[in-house]
């Protein structure tokens, strides 16, 4: 009984700590409910796709795919091209996805082959691989674009004539997906104000009498995320998905059963990389600015952090973990600076506290996972030895 209770606490320690901290930080921040809901909805729409792309490699027993930054880089290359060509709106986003897909596939195959040579050390290998490909990406973007690869838009290039600027405006595709089906939730008073300001345009206006404030919902983004969730649920039931789950349980058993382990692992990484490419495009269309040399780094770290905070581990993650993680992680982002300011009079203290707690907890999650895995191995070894082994 005590052991069971201990297991429940150990399994949910990370989300529990975050819920506890949020419970203290939300009242301290002084933000209204509608503001928090608006911010959270925006961030869920912005980040969920990227985090969902991590699920398939976990299913295949490859741990957290730090190599998702490769996909993010592919997406950014697609975005740079559409910025140069001046393709805007939804066609621009889809074209960026089309350009990014083959790059993501090639990088995914490369990453998958490397990870097959480093079985059991996938996370650290993919993390370092991310740095290596980042070097290649920087060479392409900083030296080849505008010199070997034609870039005709002078606003994209550095003053020397080649290499892309550090910050690129994505004004052509900014929030195009989020505002594709404009939806607003407000009360009757807010609806009147909204109609006065915006006019009776083509948007869904949902009136809730008890709701205080006005929030905009990125409905089209949520529909795409929902479709992605359905895809993951469906994919788990396919032959390939079952193969991946079998490999995740035990590679040697899967190999004995005739499953092509290496090929399936490569497919898992390719799917994850391609989806990370799309996720990064969705993320950046919401942000509206591309930080050419840093955006992808942040994407990988934040997605993995959010997934772990949602209660996932290196070997097990679900769609629920993704949404719990994105809510808790980004709730801390929103409330921590203001809570710190109201508590100590310094917003930076709150931000330091958030960074310290967030990443400290990620470290604890990884240590807990390693400890639990060692304990399970020890238990399995003990059970194999039987009673004689204990003697």
Residues that bind another protein (CB under 8 A): 85-92, 94-95, 98-99, 152, 172
CA distances from 346 to 26, 341, 350 (A): 16, 4, 7
The total of other beta-carbon atoms located within 10 Å of residue 116's CB is: 16
Q: Whose Cβ is closer to another protein: residue 98's or residue 139's?
A: 98
> Considering the complex, what minimum distance in angstroms separates the CB of residue 7 from another protein?
48
* Listed residue (258, 330, 316, 250) closest to 46, CA to CA: 330
Nearer to another protein, 154 or 209 (CB): 154
Quick one: 27 or 161, whose CB is closer to another protein? 161
Shortest Å, Cβ 312 to another protein: 34
Shortest distance (Å) from residue 387 CB to another protein? 57
Q: Are 338 and 30 in contact (CB under 8 A)?
A: yes
Say how far apart CA 98 and CA 95 lie, in whole Å: 5
**101 or 313: CB nearest another protein:** 101
In this structure, the number of other CB atoms found within 10 A of the CB of residue 120 comes to 9
Q: Residue 86 or residue 360: which is nearer to another protein going by CB?
A: 86
- Distance CA(357)–CA(322), nearest Å, equals 19
CA–CA distance, 294 with 314 (Å, rounded to integer): 25
CB of 289 to another protein, least distance (A): 18
Angle value at C-alpha 209, between 203 and 213, nearest 5 degrees: 65
CA 136 to chain centre: 23
The minimum distance between CB 157 and another protein, in angstroms, equals 14
């Amino acid at each position: 009984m005590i052991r069971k209770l201990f297991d429940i606490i150990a399994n949910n320690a990370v989300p529990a700590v975050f819920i506890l901290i949020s419970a203290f930080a939300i009242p301290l921040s002084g933000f209204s409910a509608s503001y928090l809901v608006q911010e959270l909805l925006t961030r869920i729409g912005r980040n969920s796709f990227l985090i969902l792309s991590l699920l398939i490699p976990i299913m295949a027993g490859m741990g957290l795919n730090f190599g998702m930054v490769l996909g993010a880089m592919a997406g950014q290359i697609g975005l740079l091209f559409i910025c140069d060509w001046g393709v805007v709106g939804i066609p621009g986003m889809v074209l960026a996805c089309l350009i990014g897909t083959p790059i993501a596939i090639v990088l995914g195959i490369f990453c998958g082959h490397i990870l097959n040579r480093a079985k059991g050390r996938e996370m650290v290998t993919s993390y370092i691989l991310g740095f290596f490909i980042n070097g290649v990406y920087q060479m392409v973007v900083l030296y080849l674009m505008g010199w070997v690869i034609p870039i005709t838009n002078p606003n994209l290039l550095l003053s020397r004539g080649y290499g892309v600027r550090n910050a690129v405006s994505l004004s052509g595709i900014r929030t195009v997906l989020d505002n594709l089906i404009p939806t607003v939730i407000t009360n009757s008073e807010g609806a009147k104000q909204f109609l006065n300001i915006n006019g009776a345009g083509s948007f869904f206006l949902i009136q809730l009498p008890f709701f205080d404030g006005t929030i905009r919902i990125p409905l089209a983004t949520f529909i795409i995320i929902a479709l992605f969730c359905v895809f993951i649920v469906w994919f788990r039931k396919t032959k390939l998905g079952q193969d991946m789950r079998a490999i995740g349980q035990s590679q040697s058993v899967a190999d004995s059963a005739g499953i092509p382990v290496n090929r399936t692992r490569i497919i898992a990484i390719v799917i994850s990389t391609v989806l990370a490419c799309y996720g990064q495009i969705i993320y950046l269309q919401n942000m509206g600015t591309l930080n050419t040399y840093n955006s992808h780094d942040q994407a990988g770290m934040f997605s993995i952090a959010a997934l772990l905070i949602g209660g996932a581990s290196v070997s097990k993650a679900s769609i629920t973990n993704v949404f719990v993680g994105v809510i808790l992680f980004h709730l801390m982002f929103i409330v921590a600076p203001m809570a710190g300011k109201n508590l100590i009079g310094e917003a930076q203290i709150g931000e330091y506290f958030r960074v310290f707690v967030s990443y400290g907890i990620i470290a604890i999650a990884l240590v807990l996972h390693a400890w639990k895995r060692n304990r399970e191995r020890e238990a399995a070894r003990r059970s194999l030895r039987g009673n004689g082994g204990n003697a």
